[in-house]
A and B are shown apart, each in its own frame.
Chain A
Amino acid sequence: MKKILKNNDIVLTGEYLGVVEEYLPDKNSTFIKDGAIYATKTGLINLDMDKRKIEINTHQDEDRKTIKLGDIVIGSILFIRKYSVGLNFYTINKKVHFNSYFFGNVHVSQISNKYIEQISDAFRVTDIIRAKVVEEKENEFDLSTSGKDLGVIHADCTVCGTKFDKIAFGKLECSTCGNMENRKLAYDYGEINEHLRY
């Protein structure tokens, strides 16, 4: 049955929306079967006729648990490779994500807008960092920490394990053993009072 779609119309799961020649369907909220577009979610239509895009807005964005490009995530570094680090996420968009199955990588070129020779100049294992999602690769995500508000927000001394104090931009010192290390710091390093490890 042909029905003219309008913005903010209610669409129900499985409803016919149109044919593939009519719209560019959104991957997350529609599916294509035999050349026709059907809704996979219930919600309100978001129709962009300039770009011929159609998607369904479920108005549940605060409950979203999957990651989109541009999200800010917080995670701890699990391991360091030669040119990249791997981390799992603690929070997505300021919401706690227990036992997250998401996994992200930061390539050495994405760490900072300055030149970084070795990854250990910027990150160490168990650091907690804030990063931005820049690319999606199957089940993993590419992250970037280039920017003032992104980078390490919590670091422990690699010698004795006490929390580092910031002494200068990008420089940390341990108050117990005097060990000094370099990191790519976020501007609010040491000012975060929330629980970072769970």
Chain B
Amino acid sequence: MTLLIQDEYPKKLLREDGLRLDGRGLTDLRPIKMEVDVIKNADGSAYIEWGNNKIFASVYGPREVHPHHLAKPDRGILRVFYRMATYSVFERKRPAPGRREKEISLVISECLEPVLFLELYPGTSFEIFIEVIDADGGTRCASTTVAALALADAGIPMRSLVSSCAVGKVDGQLITDLSGIEDKAGDSDMPVAMTWFNDEISLLQFDGKMNQEEMDKSLDMAKDALENVYQMQLEALKKKYIQIQEGI
């Protein structure tokens, strides 16, 4: 019996002409589309299409903390709920939040915390709900990017936006923005997120093998890619206010 999807990955992830399987160059990003203010009931919301990833983020807050004992008397708290839909991957994903989702939620909330002025809102909570509708590698990067966009759309004071992108190694070559297959079959994978008010890295995870030179080089590649993502984020935010500006 033949399987619908092949269980094994292709042996070579780079084509003979040096391009990747989906026709991208080594440092090319997948096509990205961003939009803000897509969910009416949320205080702020955003939607991103990053390659085959489709992700919604909605922000609520500042509001009262439930359960009450989590509230901090001197500052607000940020809670992130990253969830994948059952139909977002090829095999049905169990709907209960698992180890991976809890980790990503924590990582994203710690990554976004330095840009927020939480000390201005004591006793409150900000909640970000991230729904992954379609997943194809790099969802934590896309989620971080879209969560920052949704926070900005909600009018919550922020020092700057946060952008995120992955870099990695495939067949001995350093590449930017790994797709699902490159993530699973590649040599290494490194998601990076940056806060732009101080140009610092606020998220760095690593999986696989790399030597120090490759590491330095891939961080530079990540920074170049993040500049592009940042410009796209700003453009998406600007689009909403152009309409308002014309109405005045």
Contact = CB atoms under 8 A, between A and B. Distances in A.
Interface stretch (B78-86, B153-161, B205-213, B214-222): B153-161
A40 B159 contact: yes
Interface string A20-33: 00000000110101
B237 interface: yes
A66 interface: yes
A42 B117 CA distance: 15
A41 interface: yes
B245 A8 contact: yes
Nearest to A31: B159
B238 A12 contact: yes
A43 B241 contact: yes
A193 interface: no
Interface stretch (A55-63, A111-119, A123-131): A55-63
A29 B121 CA distance: 14
Identify the interface centre among A10, A65, A101: most chain B CB within 10 Å of its CB.
A101
Most buried by B among A10, A28, A40, A41: A40
Q: How many residues of A sit at the interface, in one of the four size bands?
A: 20 to 34
Interface in A1-60: 8, 10, 12-14, 28-29, 31, 33, 38, 40-44, 58-60
B160 A41 contact: no
| B: interface residue count bin | 20 to 34
A40 B117 CA distance: 9
Contact of A10 (B63, B124, B238): B238
Nearest to A57: B244
Contacts of A101: 62-65, 123-124
B77 interface: no
B161 A58 contact: no
A65 B155 CA distance: 11
Interface of B: 43, 62-66, 117, 121-124, 152-153, 155-161, 196-197, 234, 237-238, 240-242, 244-245, 248
Given A10-B245, A33-B197, A101-B62, 9 more contacts: A14-B159, A40-B157, A42-B155, A42-B240, A43-B155, A59-B241, A60-B155, A65-B62, A100-B64
28 contacts: A8-B245, A12-B234, A12-B238, A13-B152, A13-B161, A14-B161, A28-B157, A38-B197, A40-B159, A41-B155, A41-B156, A41-B158, A42-B152, A42-B153, A42-B241, A43-B241, A44-B245, A58-B155, A60-B155, A63-B43, A65-B63, A99-B64, A99-B66, A100-B64, A101-B63, A101-B64, A101-B65, A139-B122
